[in-house]
Chain A
Amino acid sequence: MSKPILDVIGLTMNFGGIRALDHLDLDVYAGEIVALIGPNGAGKTTFFNCLTGMYAPAEGEIRLTSPETGKQTLLAGLKPNKITELGMARTFQNIRLFSRMTVLENVMIGRHCRTRSLIFGAIFRPRKTREEEQDTVDRSYRILEKVGLSGQVDELADNLSYGAQRRLEIARALATDPFLLLLDEPAAGMNPQETAELVDLIRRIRDDGHAVLLIEHDMKLVMTLSDRVFVLDYGEKIAQGTPAEIGVNAAVIKAYLGEEVLDEEMP
């Protein structure tokens, strides 16, 4: 296999005296769907925040390699917007849409880092800016078609249903042209029907050439969707492997269900 597009080595994050992440290693290859699971408070979202530059990790390296150019970048100290520009975009666990903007505008914001016009372009609207704007609108519309929101483009984001808001978050992240998409609990609060559609959507996103790293509590979704699974507990990686391997892993079952379930002696 070629080089991983995301390579995390020994990532450590402390909050005061609490170690939220403890020497975590993780890698994602192009074309993969990788899941990150673990009980509540295991440090999954903290891990995402470290990856996207919102937290500064205490130790460890994060390397991002563009699958197209092969250019490798060390993420240490980069601002969140720079990291997004490199090709890694995320969604949020607690939905963070621009609620008083329309659905289309939300996605157009995602195009921001791929477009250039500033004050001059805004005021004088040279041809280049007009073309750029039209391109932004058209691409955003196509992405909304992909996630099934093309019927509600002019609706305010606030007025969408919960499931639709989650899909809009994905659309907004896709608009930044990421080669790696980070999804933080995309199925949270969705009904089975919506979850099934989401599984379908994530597969299509993968088929379009975006690798996906997702945090999820819905085990059925994780098991059906992901190629590989990483399991976190108290900031440490306790297991990694294919869904089938994880399903029978003793440490994982213990972390999720407690010690008594397994009739084993643990030191």
Chain B
Amino acid sequence: MAVPVPERFKRAAMVTMISIKDVKRSLLVSLWFVFLSFPIMVIQVNPVERTVVWRWSNMLYMGIASLLLSFLVRIWLLRQERRLAQKQLSSSPQPSILHLLLKQQKFRYPLIIGGSVIVLAFPLIFSSYQANIMTTALMYIVLGLGLNIVVGLAGLLDLGYVAFYAVGAYSYALFNLHFDLGFWPALPLGGLLAALFGVLLGFPVLRLRGDYLAIVTLGFGEIIRLILENWNAFSKGPSGISNIPRPGFFGVEMSLDQAMTFMYYLMLVLLAGTIFVVNRLQDSRLGRAWVALREDETACQAMGIDKAQTKLIAFALGAFWAGLIGVIFAAKTTFVNPASFTFMESAIILSIVVLGGMGSITGIIFGALILILLPEYLRPLSEYRMLAFGAILVAMMIFKPEGLIAGSRRVYRFQAQKIQPMLKNNE
């Protein structure tokens, strides 16, 4: 297997014309990597027997691997540059492969039908463990779609999104604890309460933009978490609230597995609803106002858009979905405590939006699937799992900074053309 690689490699190098300078740089990179990884990869200390094992072969592997990788990256970058130069000639943005596939009638329906069959039969085909992971992934898709309204569409960088998630989860937990409220009435209630909190956060930050807004929202997220952690009388503090009932289904008794399967389908329905609503919001007067707000606040106001109202609606709607998922989270784990609502959660949801592609529903679905499922399926890599995960994220952001699937603008039809309005995604 060692022979064909340099052959192919040489050809690729010829095509993209790697210069001596690039080779030198790659050598430098690999030397640097060898140096950096030396303590981890080469030295192995056995504290019990008090011996040190020097694994020199690892150093060689690291050197070769990093050299090869650096070459690949260089070639890729060169190609990208060339492609960009070509792209500038044609002005319109290139649609993604997925969009192209979906556009073609021949592929469209088989793709959609095949996809929905797999999604619908998922808990039947795979183990309940898999279905459980998938349910979590579905929850994060909805969270991502909710945050997308605030960050992707309205351009308001919200680092405290998890606070609304917590509001939803705790509202179900507490209402259930004190008033014995069931899951179904708690679901909309949690969403509405979270939306209320969204408006409460929205008011003081109406005038803030960019990094200032990010700092305040970050603080808001932490305040909610700290209140939950320290106000024992209200939230039972760090020990949390347990024995939260799972959602019922017309009083049918369900085993744990059945309950999990039910949860999966419940999430699926909620996700479908969310996609429908977010898609419609995007293609509406309100959605346009959000995007305009993201592009230029001053011009937006000068064009007659009520900045305060538009921002508050974005915050409230974004928070609403976080609240819904919060209730579902509480019902799924049957236990909530403040440790589930740390900044890390906000960061993951934000990563889903950014990685998937801001303002793009398909992008966010893929972003969430990758970010939530990848760490699970990387488990065979054991201790290198998070390292690999991080490397994949960094690589993604270098090679596709606009996200997996960038948002595209809708094309409208006019009465004059006598064609019914054709929407981008649905209908």
Task: Give the B-binding residues of A (Cβ under 8 A).
Answer: 52, 54, 79-81, 84-85, 89-90, 92, 96-102, 104-105, 108-110, 112-115, 117-119, 121-123, 125, 129, 132-134, 136-138, 141, 153-156, 159, 172-173, 176
Contact = CB atoms under 8 A, between A and B. Distances in A.
B224 interface: no
Contacts of A114: 304
B285 A122 contact: yes
A79 B412 CA distance: 31
Given A122-B286, A138-B416, A154 B304 contact: no
Interface residues of B, number: 37
Given A52-B302, A81-B307, A138-B414, A122 B281 contact: yes
Interface string B399-427: 00000000001111111100001000000
Contacts of B300: 98, 109
B313 interface: yes
Interface string B277-299: 10011001111110110011011
Interface in B87-139: 91-93
Rank and list the top 3 A-B pairs by shortest CB-CB distance, nearest first. Answer: A113-B304, A122-B284, A84-B304
A81 B304 contact: yes
Contact of A113 (B305, B307, B414): B305
A149 to B, nearest CB: 14
A87 to B, nearest CB: 10
A127 to B, nearest CB: 13
Interface in B320-338: none
A155 B92 contact: yes
A97 B284 contact: no
A110 B295 contact: no
27 contacts: A54-B302, A81-B306, A81-B307, A84-B304, A92-B299, A96-B296, A98-B291, A98-B300, A101-B292, A101-B409, A105-B291, A109-B305, A112-B288, A113-B305, A117-B286, A118-B313, A123-B280, A137-B413, A138-B415, A138-B416, A153-B412, A155-B91, A156-B409, A172-B303, A173-B303, A176-B303, A176-B304
B302 A80 contact: yes
Interface of B: 91-93, 277, 280-281, 284-289, 291-292, 295-296, 298-307, 313, 317, 409-416, 421
B277 A100 contact: no
A80 B415 contact: no
A97 B281 CA distance: 22
A54 to B, nearest CB: 7
Contact of B416 (A52, A110, A141, A154): A141
Contacts of B289: 109, 112
Given A110-B303, A113-B304, A134 B277 contact: no
A119 B414 contact: no
A115 B302 contact: no
Contacts of B298: 54, 96
A110 B409 CA distance: 17
B250 to A, nearest CB: 27
A101 B291 contact: yes
Contact of B412 (A89, A104, A172): A104
Given A52-B302, A92-B299, A98-B291, A112 B285 contact: yes
Contacts of B411: 102, 154
Contacts of B280: 122-123, 125
B414 A112 contact: no
Contact of B414 (A98, A141, A159, A176): A141
B302 A90 contact: yes
B212 to A, nearest CB: 20
Given A85-B304, A134-B415, A119 B286 contact: yes
A84 B303 CA distance: 6
Contacts of B413: 137
Given A97-B299, A109-B292, 12 more contacts: A100-B291, A112-B285, A112-B303, A117-B284, A119-B281, A134-B415, A138-B414, A141-B416, A154-B409, A155-B91, A156-B91, A156-B92
